[in-house]
Amino acid sequence: MDMEIPHYETTRTEPLKPLAERMRPRRIEDVVGQEEVVAPGSPLMLMAQNPDLSSLAVPGAALLFGPPGTGKTTLSQLVAQESGRHMMKLNAVNLNVSDLTATLATISRLRRRNEECVLFIDEIHRLPQDMQDILLPVVEKRMMCFIAATTEPPASVLQPALLSRCIVVHLHKLTMDNLGEILDRACADPRGLNGRVRLDPEARKMLIVSSGGDARRSLTTLEAAASRAVWEGGDSGVVILTADDVRAVADNVARYSFQDQSNMTSAMIKSMRGSDADAAVYWAMRMLNAGEDPKFIARSVITTAAKDVGMADPEALRVATAAADAVDRLGMPNARFPLLEAVVYVSTAPKSDSIQRASEAVSRDIHDGYIGDVPDHLREPLDEEAKKEGEGNGYLNPHDFGGFVHQEYLPMGMEGHEYYQPNDSGMEHRIIPWLKDYRDYMAQKPSADEEREYEEYRHRAAAPASAPSADEAAAPDAVTGPAA
């Protein structure tokens, strides 16, 4: 029996393009999920509707920043198409100086013939500094409409001089509704699957979820699943695509760029802080499956244990540190077990950010100018001269006074500043009454008896050591041990 694969009108000299390519919007306003970007008066619409760059009201350069599959390449092509400009498309990954200069020479030649161009450079975060230097003067002179695309934060992509000449256009990650609309259109459109394939609800949901917000990825998976379903089903008219068809071809190796690493790390940390062990384990495993170094994840768990659990359960820090040590000893794949144990422990532990708040309170005071000297009685004299100047003199050792002693530990003028404020959470609630007793005691003036006791103590500490008696001098050295 002859089996039919999806086929669309084409010729031998014009091979069928991928589904994602065929389904590119034909008009700029048809781009899905970027309504603000293509709104009337937006930078890209001004570029598309005004082929003449002589007006400063029309942006001459734009940097499209957004996740993969959100329409950056499509938008640049539509700007060229709707403005009647030539499209010059380059990719920074394989671009060299000679190719760039040759392209700029072509643009200059066309411009002398009054033909304008759009120069589009994809993945511009991969463009070396020397080629950015070549671009700068031609972008500054508005020799062409310059559009660049990146998935990385703009400030880390372009040198400041070039970035300052670009309008940064933020493209939003596509929503589930956006992706559903794109998939439905691809199934029905004559340029797409032309009604030959329908999606059952589970298959549709799987295509959306597995795409990670990437329209191109969802369409590529749809095309592969449709081909598989038609091959297996034969010439049976309309094919119903199931979750099994999608699962069989889906690319389960998640994309993992620098931005993905940053976002997933943030998601894991915030999940632990929010006590959601399920989500925290999920994000940790997403990173591990993408090839992340488990030591990097372990460091994030340690930080969260100290910052977000803190004194509510000091054991969390010990568990996280022990997990990091185990990760170092074991390596992957077994390192994931102690690592996830720590993730779960930190997630389910009581939470307190009192340590973080204390550090922030101190930082504010330092910023406000509270940077007084260390009090003399707390200093460690480096030599006899420093001791004569008073460094280290007058210190009261709390062990000699039952634990508390009236003594200022902060710089002069900062008496009474309080930074650590315990939460009534987990084990930290035990500290609250102790700390109150301590602060109440320190706020009181010492009694006359205490003042007298302190003075006698300081006097004894300042007195020179008496010379040893003859018997003491003849005694064996207690430090070096008995003579052989």
Domains located in the chain, CATH noted: 34-170 (3.40.50.300), 176-249 (1.10.8.60), 259-351 (1.20.272.10), 368-462 (1.10.3710)
pLDDT, mean of residues 286-303? 91
- Global pTM reads 0.57
- The predicted pLDDT at position 14 comes to 42
- The predicted pLDDT at position 156 comes to 81
- The predicted pLDDT at position 479 comes to 38
- The predicted pLDDT at position 11 comes to 37
pLDDT band at 279 (very low <50, low <70, confident <90, very high): very high
- The predicted pLDDT at position 1 comes to 34
pLDDT, mean of residues 302-316? 96
pLDDT band at 332 (very low <50, low <70, confident <90, very high): confident
Choose from 20-24, 198-202, 222-226, 342-346 the range with maximum mean pLDDT: 342-346
Residue type, 3: M
The percentage of the chain sitting over the pLDDT mark of 90, rounded to a whole number, equals: 50
pLDDT, mean of residues 230-256? 73
**Cα(first)–Cα(last) distance of the chain, in Å?**
103
Longest dimension (CA), the chain: 117
In the 8-state DSSP scheme, what is residue 346? H
pLDDT, mean of residues 400-406? 85
pLDDT value at 168 more than 90: yes
- The predicted pLDDT at position 167 comes to 93
The Cβ of residue 426 has, within 10 Å, a number of other Cβ atoms equal to: 19
In the 8-state DSSP scheme, what is residue 376? G
pLDDT, mean of residues 224-238? 73
pLDDT value at 41 more than 60: yes
The percentage of the chain sitting over the pLDDT mark of 70, rounded to a whole number, equals: 88
If you average pLDDT over every residue of the chain, what do you get? 86
pLDDT value at 60 more than 70: yes
pLDDT value at 232 more than 50: yes
pLDDT band at 313 (very low <50, low <70, confident <90, very high): very high
| Angle in degrees, CA 342, 347, 348, rounded to 5 | 105
pLDDT value at 464 more than 70: no
pLDDT value at 471 more than 80: no
- The predicted pLDDT at position 331 comes to 85
Q: How many CA atoms lie within 13 A of 7 on its CB side?
A: 8
pLDDT, mean of residues 461-481? 54
The predicted-structure confidence for 363-399, as pLDDT tens digits, reads as follows 998 988 888 888 888 888 776 776 766 676 888 889 9
pLDDT value at 429 more than 70: yes
Q: Where are the alpha helices (DSSP H) in 234-274?
A: 243-249, 258-273
With CA atoms as reference, report the closest residue to 130 among 156, 92, 102: 92
Give the Å distances, CA to CA, from 351 to 270, 275, 347, 435, 442: 12, 8, 9, 19, 29
- The predicted pLDDT at position 351 comes to 96
Question: Which of 24-33, 64-73, 123-132, 457-466 is the least confident region?
Answer: 457-466
